[in-house]
Structure 1
């Protein structure tokens, strides 16, 4: 069995993607939440690395040691914050200590993050060089335990890198219609692990959530998300409206049964494992909503 096949079997269908804030949530709160979600049937728990958050490898080392029997994934380790050799060694260290329980998600972040470090934002070239450095490190000192790496990929060139130089892709903040698009580029032999926003409520509730996402994307000039939406056929009018079609594609909204059916659509469209993120106003409410959805989505 290949590493991709083994990872698919361990991941199952549904996981959770939890938001993080500068040095928040407190470690004990996050450990308890991760244990709770694992007990409710979520097969993996992911979170990211942004401005002011905990360093991702130290962070996940603590979680892996504290919470048994759940797979954890970085969504994502930001390449601007460390060299490729360091990222590879960090992943290898966690994989050796916790075999079969760690997926390394790597991403090129956004232009504002590169600018803070005085770097030019060249995501494709930088990611290609980064993966080459990771590969060279592995060749010099092979990892005792193999671990999968996936890329934060939205557009075609990053998806091609995910296919040719990684084990798959972890798209973020994309509509349901992105999944068949991504699978078409990746082919059948790579992991596809999309993050999907869910909302217990009405279309109008979802529309308000989308407006916040769009406003934040434009404020921070997160062009990769907006470009990804337009690549799928959405216009500025659809995005800024936002139109019903865009709202329904970007957010899985409704009651728990309806959301579960929409998740099945994402899986049927080619996802291996879908990471759910509730539209919520706090870490605690995010976890509570995931808990309320669990009887339907993790069945």
Structure 2
């Protein structure tokens, strides 16, 4: 496992890209061009996620990998509510075999509303994740079609922001992929994981040289996120909200559009402000930070990545 972690660190570099839910609506050809552009710009990886019933994350990554030559692609996350463990293992191994060394499997548990939507009992997240990861590697089912393992096993990281899920990530996988969290979470995650595990946080951002306009856009995005959280059971019922509570943010700050939470969770402003936040994550122990330009304008997202690339890809 240590060899896998070290090789992945070298391959990824310091900064990658997380593309948001707009990839569920952008045509495949546009996504191919975007993946190729991100590779040309020098970013080390490109990631996206999925929700049950949406476009399959493994298929999306296969499209991106086929359109590029070197860049690593990551699932952030492959939602365990979307498929059985053996199917996740098969899809992961297929990508690893087709694109050796270029795929990172990120897995996460989703949330209760998603589980209800696909007719599943959400249960206890820690137990569910532990059982799922164990079943991925269980070859005792005699009815399963045997398949050769890929020559290079893809690294696995677990979506985690709380101490218990982070500890589970350190125990059973190659590391953690925190999402929508402040730099303090990165520091806490590194302390829990120790030095021998991958730590790949996502960082949402609004790039705009006008600081007031950038902050307004970040506040608007946070307001939209809160609406989504309410539909999913409320901010304090989800790991992201509980994580902020642990870090000392008040219930009012978490459940309202507070400047303190906006500033902590979304990097906003000019190039210098964005680079400063990414450096803070790296200094706190991140191996590789995924920049996520927020918004629904896919060409605008790529333009932001182009403008930030010279400074971000030069970080060491």
Same fold (TM over 0.5): yes
CA deviations 1:186-239 (Å, max 9, x no partner) are: 111110100101112433332332222223222322612211211211112222
Once residues 277 and 9 of structure 1 are traced to their aligned partners in structure 2, the CA distance between those partners, rounded to angstroms, is 21
1:91-133, CA deviations, whole angstroms, 9 ceiling, x for partnerless residues? Answer: 1111111111000111111111100122121221111111001
Q: How many residues in Structure 1 have an aligned counterpart in Structure 2? A: 299
**Which string of whole-angstrom CA distances, capped at 9 and with x for unpartnered residues, describes residues 119-150 of structure 1?**
12122111111100112249985443211011
Shift of 1:294: 1.1
Of residues 123, 129, 132, the one that matches 2:131 is 129
2: CA distance between counterparts of 1:142 and 1:35? 28
Counterpart of 1:164 in structure 2 is 171
Q: Indicate the residue corresponding to 2:295 in structure 1.
A: 280
- Counting only pairs closer than 5 Å after superposition, residues 221-232 of structure 1 correspond to structure 2 as 221=233, 223-232=238-247
Tell me if the contact between 1:22 and 1:53 (Cα under 8 Å) persists in the aligned partners.
Answer: no
Contact 1:84 1:134 in 2 (8 A): yes
CA RMSD of aligned residues (A): 2.0
Gaps of 5+ in 1: none
TM-score for both structures, normalised by structure 1? 0.94
Is the partner of 2:21 in helix, strand or coil? coil
Where 1:45 maps in the other structure, the secondary structure is: strand
Give 5+ residue unaligned stretches, structure 2.
Answer: none
Per-residue deviation, 1:53: 2.8
Q: TM-score, normalised by structure 2?
A: 0.89
Aligned match for 2:222, one of 192, 210, 224? 210
- 1:20-42 Cα shifts (integer Å, max 9, x gaps): 35842111100100110111111
Query: Aligned ranges for residues 229-248 of structure 1 at < 5 Å?
Result: 229-248=244-263
Aligned runs of 1:91-110 on 2, under 5 Å?
91-110=92-111
Distance 1:196 1:99 in 2: 27
Asked whether the 8 Å contact 1:79–1:109 carries over to 2, the reply is yes
Distance 2:61 2:20 in 1: 14
Alignment map for 1:25-64 (pairs within 5 Å): 25-64=26-65
Q: CA offsets per residue over residues 42-96 of structure 1, 9 Å max, x none?
A: 1100011124432222222222122111000001111111111211121111111
The range that moved more, 136-145 or 235-244, is 136-145
C-alpha distance in 1, partners of 2:312/2:139?
Answer: 39
Preserved CA contact (<8 Å) 1:102 1:147: yes
Partner SS state of residue 81, structure 1? coil
2 CA distance for matches of 1:29 and 1:180?
36
Instruction: Please say if 1:10 is aligned against 2:17.
Output: no
Pair 1:297 & 2:309 matched: no
